[in-house]
Amino acid sequence: MKSLGGMIYMSKKIGVVTTSRADYGLLYPIMKEIQVSKQLSLKIIATGMHLLPQYGYTINNIKSDFKDVDEIDMYLGNPEQYSLVKSIGVGFISFAEYLKYKKMDMIIILGDRSELIVPAYSAMLCGIPIAHIFGGDNIDKYVTYDNNIRHSITKIASIHFTAIREHSERIRKLGEEEWRIHQIGSPALDYIKKCNYITKEELQKKFKRIDFSKPYCVLTFHPVHTEVNDISTQIKNIIEAINTFNLQVIATYPNNDVGSKIIIDYLKKESNKNDKFVLTNSLLQEEYYSLLRYSRLMLGNSSSGVLESTSFRIPSINIGSRQRGRIKGDNVIDTDYSVNQIENAIEKSLNNKKFIKLCKNSINPYGDGNASKKLVEVLENIGDYNKLIYKRITY
């Protein structure tokens, strides 16, 4: 319920599910927009990596931004395949209990993380409409199971908020009705547009080993589940290539997919012996974006290297297969995992004046920074949410 002019009226209760630091930064502008809506009421549901101490226990970051946050713990044991399956089973039990007592008019989820299977299918089976952000995206089919998860969520989602035209078209080909598909852009650009950037002086207090008057890069590298046996070689090659240039590095922890411990161990080892190599297990979103803003380049295989880097006008080196198939800005260089290719890309990013100029003039293909407002306008104008549940296929 919300109050308007002294009168109390019913608002639509929107549950926004966040599973990690990665999706929270994208969902934050949407949460804020829902919070100020006169017709919608916000409920934040934090789960997944947010509740893991080894990844910074980022639930505290959410609670510093919002007063009312619900927690659903679902992880058991180490990030190995069978533990993940067990965790998803536990998650279904926890979400069933939660949705039984916390009545929702809609659940919003973003992306293709395996944990999203739980809130998506739980909401569907409880008769709650699902709004899915970033449906229709595409990763090379031979690389990960992200496509399987993303497209399966599309088929049970009630309404789709896409980033670009190609994504909308892919959802149409999956047989979804036209009126359910809304191209809004990436909400990450909303955050970038309105971010309260931190000064170099403030960043210096946290990253004492980095000289912010000199060039540095930001490194984020996640495991690819089909390449687990090669992860050691991959991360070693990346570190070797960077060290060729005596470049300062701020590295972030990977996600907690299978193989993440191997990457973390190599990053810790490098950080312990190299004063110019700093490792952090979590960052506030404004810290991360501020680091990108002042950096000479970013590298790794994070989606932010594709979706967000273009907005900072910096070179982005996309290493390996994880982001293969995605639409990219002109600032992105694709490489394989070889030391030689990564070195060539770093050399180009640091010293090729023509390419650096191209990066400065690149246009982000993922929107205009108004995605959150567009999304909330759609939710406010749906009317009867019950009509969203019953779907038909268009072919």
DSSP class per residue in 142-156: TT-SHHHHHHHHHHH
**From its phi and psi, is residue 66 left (phi > 0), alpha (psi between -120 and 50) or beta?**
beta
Report the pLDDT value the prediction gives residue 141, as an integer from 0 to 100.
56
Q: Quick: pLDDT tens for 234-276.
A: 999 999 999 999 899 999 999 988 899 999 999 999 999 999 9
- Rounded mean pLDDT of the chain? 94
What does the pLDDT look like over 273-291, one tens digit per residue?
A: 999 999 999 999 999 999 9
Alpha-carbon distance 102 to 89, whole Å?
Answer: 20
Contact 45, 98 (CB under 8 A): yes
Closest CA to 240 of 209, 210, 207, 266: 266
Residue 54: other Cβ atoms inside 10 A = 13
pLDDT over 80 at 385, yes or no: yes
pTM (2 d.p.): 0.92
d(CA 281, CA 279): 7
Distance CA 184, CA 307 (A): 14
Q: How many residues does the chain have?
A: 395
**Domains 2-187+369-388 and 194-360 in one fold:** yes
**Full strand arrangement of the beta sheet holding 181-183:** 69-72, 40-47, 12-18, 106-110, 130-133, 159-162, 181-183
Q: Considering Cα of 36, then 42, then 46, then 47, what sign does the dihedral take?
A: negative
What's the sign of the alpha-carbon dihedral 95, 96, 102, 106?
A: positive
Please give the helix or strand (H or E) that residue 215 lies within, else none. Answer: none
Alpha helix positions (H), 112-247: 117-125, 146-156, 165-173, 188-194, 200-206, 231-243
All residues at 6 or more sequence positions from 82 whose CB lies less than 8 Å from its CB, including other chains: none
CATH class label, 194-360: alpha beta
Find out if CATH 3.40.190.10 is the number for domain 2-187+369-388: no
Residue 310 CA: distances (Å) to CA of 237, 304, 341: 25, 9, 21
pLDDT of residue 225: 85
Ranking 3-7, 225-229, 259-263, 291-295 by mean pLDDT, the lowest is: 3-7
Domain boundaries of the chain, sorted by first residue: 2-187+369-388, 194-360
The answer to whether the CB of 249 falls within 8 A of the CB of 346 is no
Average pLDDT over residues 2-29: 83
Question: What is the bridge-based pairing of β-strands 2-4 and 7-9?
Answer: antiparallel
Largest CA distance in the chain: 67
Give the containing element (helix H, strand E) for 130. Answer: strand 130-133
In this predicted structure, the answer to whether residue 192 has a pLDDT above a threshold of 70 is yes
With a CB cutoff of 8 Å and minimum separation 6, the contacts of 314 are 292, 295, 296, 297, 298, 331, 359
Sequential DSSP letters for 260-289: HHHHHHHHHHHHHH-TTEEEES---HHHHH
Mean pLDDT, residues 196-216: 97
